[in-house]
Protein backbone atom coordinates (compact mmCIF):
# COMPACT_ATOMS: atom_id res chain seq x y z
CA UNK A 1 0.00 0.00 0.00
CA UNK A 2 1.44 3.38 -1.02
CA UNK A 3 0.77 6.89 0.28
CA UNK A 4 -1.82 7.73 -2.35
CA UNK A 5 -3.77 4.57 -1.55
CA UNK A 6 -3.92 5.26 2.18
CA UNK A 7 -4.93 8.90 1.62
CA UNK A 8 -7.73 7.69 -0.64
CA UNK A 9 -8.78 5.16 2.00
CA UNK A 10 -8.83 7.89 4.64
CA UNK A 11 -11.12 10.00 2.45
CA UNK A 12 -13.60 7.11 2.53
CA UNK A 13 -13.03 5.95 6.10
CA UNK A 14 -11.73 8.32 8.75
CA UNK A 15 -10.30 5.42 10.76
CA UNK A 16 -8.20 4.05 7.90
CA UNK A 17 -5.17 5.84 9.37
CA UNK A 18 -5.23 3.39 12.27
CA UNK A 19 -4.49 0.50 9.92
CA UNK A 20 -1.84 2.22 7.83
CA UNK A 21 1.70 0.77 7.74
CA UNK A 22 3.92 2.29 10.47
CA UNK A 23 6.09 4.17 7.99
CA UNK A 24 3.03 5.88 6.47
CA UNK A 25 1.71 6.91 9.86
CA UNK A 26 4.76 9.16 10.07
CA UNK A 27 4.12 10.76 6.67
CA UNK A 28 2.89 14.34 7.12
CA UNK A 29 0.57 14.24 4.09
CA UNK A 30 -1.09 11.11 5.42
CA UNK A 31 -1.40 12.62 8.88
CA UNK A 32 -2.91 15.82 7.48
CA UNK A 33 -5.47 13.81 5.54
CA UNK A 34 -6.37 11.86 8.68
CA UNK A 35 -6.70 14.75 11.15
CA UNK A 36 -8.60 16.85 8.61
CA UNK A 37 -11.17 14.07 8.49
CA UNK A 38 -11.17 13.37 12.23
CA UNK A 39 -9.29 15.73 14.53
CA UNK A 40 -9.24 13.20 17.35
CA UNK A 41 -6.84 11.06 15.31
CA UNK A 42 -4.19 13.51 16.53
CA UNK A 43 -3.84 11.42 19.68
CA UNK A 44 -2.47 8.54 17.57
CA UNK A 45 -0.07 10.63 15.51
CA UNK A 46 3.68 10.25 16.18
CA UNK A 47 4.89 12.74 18.77
CA UNK A 48 7.13 14.56 16.31
CA UNK A 49 4.04 15.58 14.31
CA UNK A 50 1.82 16.36 17.28
CA UNK A 51 3.75 19.59 17.73
CA UNK A 52 3.61 20.51 14.04
CA UNK A 53 1.64 23.75 13.60
CA UNK A 54 0.01 22.73 10.33
CA UNK A 55 -1.04 19.33 11.65
CA UNK A 56 -2.47 20.74 14.88
CA UNK A 57 -4.32 23.48 13.01
CA UNK A 58 -5.95 20.95 10.69
CA UNK A 59 -6.97 18.81 13.65
CA UNK A 60 -8.53 21.57 15.77
CA UNK A 61 -10.30 23.09 12.77
CA UNK A 62 -12.14 19.78 12.44
CA UNK A 63 -12.54 19.14 16.18
CA UNK A 64 -11.61 21.84 18.66
CA UNK A 65 -11.24 19.34 21.47
CA UNK A 66 -8.32 17.75 19.62
CA UNK A 67 -6.35 20.58 21.23
CA UNK A 68 -5.90 18.29 24.23
CA UNK A 69 -3.63 16.04 22.16
CA UNK A 70 -1.38 18.80 20.80
CA UNK A 71 2.19 19.11 22.05
CA UNK A 72 4.62 21.98 22.33
CA UNK A 73 2.10 24.82 22.19
CA UNK A 74 3.01 28.13 23.81
CA UNK A 75 1.21 31.42 23.20
CA UNK A 76 -0.06 30.02 19.88
CA UNK A 77 -3.26 32.03 19.83
CA UNK A 78 -4.22 31.22 16.25
CA UNK A 79 -4.41 27.52 17.12
CA UNK A 80 -6.11 28.17 20.47
CA UNK A 81 -8.75 30.43 18.93
CA UNK A 82 -9.38 28.13 15.98
CA UNK A 83 -10.09 25.37 18.48
CA UNK A 84 -12.31 27.58 20.65
CA UNK A 85 -14.34 28.82 17.70
CA UNK A 86 -14.91 25.24 16.60
CA UNK A 87 -15.82 24.08 20.12
CA UNK A 88 -15.99 26.49 23.04
CA UNK A 89 -15.12 23.73 25.48
CA UNK A 90 -11.60 23.72 24.03
CA UNK A 91 -10.96 26.68 26.36
CA UNK A 92 -10.05 24.04 28.93
CA UNK A 93 -6.87 23.30 26.96
CA UNK A 94 -5.93 26.94 26.26
CA UNK A 95 -4.58 28.12 29.64
CA UNK A 96 -3.02 31.24 28.11
CA UNK A 97 -6.50 32.54 27.23
CA UNK A 98 -8.54 31.71 30.33
CA UNK A 99 -8.44 35.35 31.43
CA UNK A 100 -8.72 36.83 27.92
CA UNK A 101 -12.13 38.49 27.59
CA UNK A 102 -12.38 38.03 23.84
CA UNK A 103 -11.40 34.35 23.97
CA UNK A 104 -13.75 33.56 26.84
CA UNK A 105 -16.67 35.41 25.24
CA UNK A 106 -16.02 33.54 21.99
CA UNK A 107 -16.02 30.27 23.89
CA UNK A 108 -19.25 30.89 25.82
CA UNK A 109 -21.07 32.15 22.74
CA UNK A 110 -20.27 28.75 21.23
CA UNK A 111 -21.08 26.82 24.42
CA UNK A 112 -22.06 28.50 27.65
CA UNK A 113 -20.67 25.62 29.68
CA UNK A 114 -17.19 26.73 28.66
CA UNK A 115 -17.46 29.42 31.34
CA UNK A 116 -16.31 26.89 33.92
CA UNK A 117 -12.87 26.90 32.27
CA UNK A 118 -12.47 30.67 32.44
CA UNK A 119 -10.40 32.43 35.08
CA UNK A 120 -12.07 32.99 38.49
CA UNK A 121 -12.35 36.70 37.62
CA UNK A 122 -14.32 36.14 34.42
CA UNK A 123 -16.19 33.14 35.78
CA UNK A 124 -17.83 35.40 38.38
CA UNK A 125 -18.29 38.45 36.14
CA UNK A 126 -22.04 39.28 35.80
CA UNK A 127 -21.69 40.05 32.09
CA UNK A 128 -20.01 36.74 31.28
CA UNK A 129 -22.42 34.85 33.51
CA UNK A 130 -25.36 36.42 31.70
CA UNK A 131 -24.14 35.51 28.22
CA UNK A 132 -23.14 32.03 29.32
CA UNK A 133 -26.59 31.47 30.81
CA UNK A 134 -28.10 32.29 27.42
CA UNK A 135 -25.99 29.59 25.80
CA UNK A 136 -26.53 26.54 27.97
CA UNK A 137 -24.83 27.41 31.26
CA UNK A 138 -26.99 26.80 34.35
CA UNK A 139 -26.00 29.27 37.09
CA UNK A 140 -26.25 28.44 40.78
CA UNK A 141 -28.08 30.69 43.23
CA UNK A 142 -25.08 32.89 43.93
CA UNK A 143 -24.36 33.29 40.23
CA UNK A 144 -28.01 33.99 39.51
CA UNK A 145 -27.92 36.82 42.03
CA UNK A 146 -24.84 38.19 40.32
CA UNK A 147 -26.53 38.02 36.92
CA UNK A 148 -29.31 40.23 38.25
CA UNK A 149 -26.74 43.02 38.56
CA UNK A 150 -26.01 42.95 34.83
CA UNK A 151 -27.66 45.64 32.71
CA UNK A 152 -29.11 43.54 29.88
CA UNK A 153 -29.69 46.68 27.77
CA UNK A 154 -25.92 47.18 27.51
CA UNK A 155 -24.76 44.82 24.78
CA UNK A 156 -21.15 43.73 25.19
CA UNK A 157 -18.71 45.09 22.62
CA UNK A 158 -17.25 41.58 22.56
CA UNK A 159 -20.29 40.04 20.85
CA UNK A 160 -19.70 41.40 17.32
CA UNK A 161 -15.97 40.79 17.73
CA UNK A 162 -16.59 37.15 18.66
CA UNK A 163 -18.48 36.73 15.38
CA UNK A 164 -15.53 37.98 13.30
CA UNK A 165 -12.74 35.83 11.87
CA UNK A 166 -10.69 35.45 15.01
CA UNK A 167 -7.57 37.36 13.94
CA UNK A 168 -9.67 40.39 13.06
CA UNK A 169 -11.76 40.16 16.21
CA UNK A 170 -8.83 39.39 18.49
CA UNK A 171 -6.77 42.36 17.38
CA UNK A 172 -9.76 44.69 17.30
CA UNK A 173 -10.36 43.80 20.94
CA UNK A 174 -6.69 44.26 21.79
CA UNK A 175 -6.84 47.65 20.08
CA UNK A 176 -9.76 48.64 22.26
CA UNK A 177 -7.80 47.60 25.33
CA UNK A 178 -4.73 49.48 24.15
CA UNK A 179 -2.63 46.32 23.98
CA UNK A 180 -1.93 46.45 20.25
CA UNK A 181 -0.82 49.57 18.42
CA UNK A 182 -0.96 50.16 14.72
CA UNK A 183 -3.88 47.79 14.06
CA UNK A 184 -4.95 48.16 10.43
CA UNK A 185 -7.70 45.56 10.24
CA UNK A 186 -7.43 41.91 9.33
CA UNK A 187 -3.80 41.12 8.67
CA UNK A 188 -2.81 44.66 9.60
CA UNK A 189 0.70 45.52 10.73
CA UNK A 190 1.29 45.76 14.43
CA UNK A 191 4.21 46.88 16.53
CA UNK A 192 3.44 44.84 19.61
CA UNK A 193 1.54 41.70 20.30
CA UNK A 194 0.45 39.81 23.36
CA UNK A 195 0.38 36.29 21.96
CA UNK A 196 1.98 34.52 19.06
CA UNK A 197 -0.12 34.77 15.90
CA UNK A 198 0.73 33.26 12.54
CA UNK A 199 -0.75 35.39 9.78
Residue-wise pLDDT for 134-193, tens only, equals: 999 999 999 999 888 877 666 666 665 565 665 665 655 565 555 544 433 333 333 333
Give the closest residue to 55 by CA, choosing from 23, 84, 26.
26
Burial pattern 82-94, b for ≥16 Cβ within 10 A else e, equals bbbbbbbbbbbbb
Is the model's pLDDT at 116 over the cut of 50?
yes
pTM for the complete prediction? 0.77
Position 158 scores a pLDDT of 65
3-state helix, strand, coil in the chain (%, to 5): 60, 0, 40
Give the closest residue to 71 by CA, choosing from 93, 50, 43.
50
Residue scoring higher pLDDT (118 or 183): 118
Residue scoring higher pLDDT (74 or 191): 74
Position 24 scores a pLDDT of 95
Position 108 scores a pLDDT of 96
By three-state DSSP, how is residue 22 classified?
Answer: helix
pLDDT bracket for residue 74 (50, 70, 90): confident
Nearest-angstrom CA–CA distance, 126 and 169: 22
pLDDT in tens, 3-55: 999 999 999 998 899 999 999 999 999 999 999 999 999 999 999 999 999 99
Lowest-confidence region among 93-97, 116-120, 181-185: 181-185
Amino acid sequence: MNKEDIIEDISQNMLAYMYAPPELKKDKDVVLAAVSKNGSILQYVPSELRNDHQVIMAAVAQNGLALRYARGLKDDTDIFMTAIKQNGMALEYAPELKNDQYAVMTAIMNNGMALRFASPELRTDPEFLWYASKNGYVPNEVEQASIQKYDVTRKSHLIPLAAMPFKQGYYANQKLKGLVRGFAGYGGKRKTRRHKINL
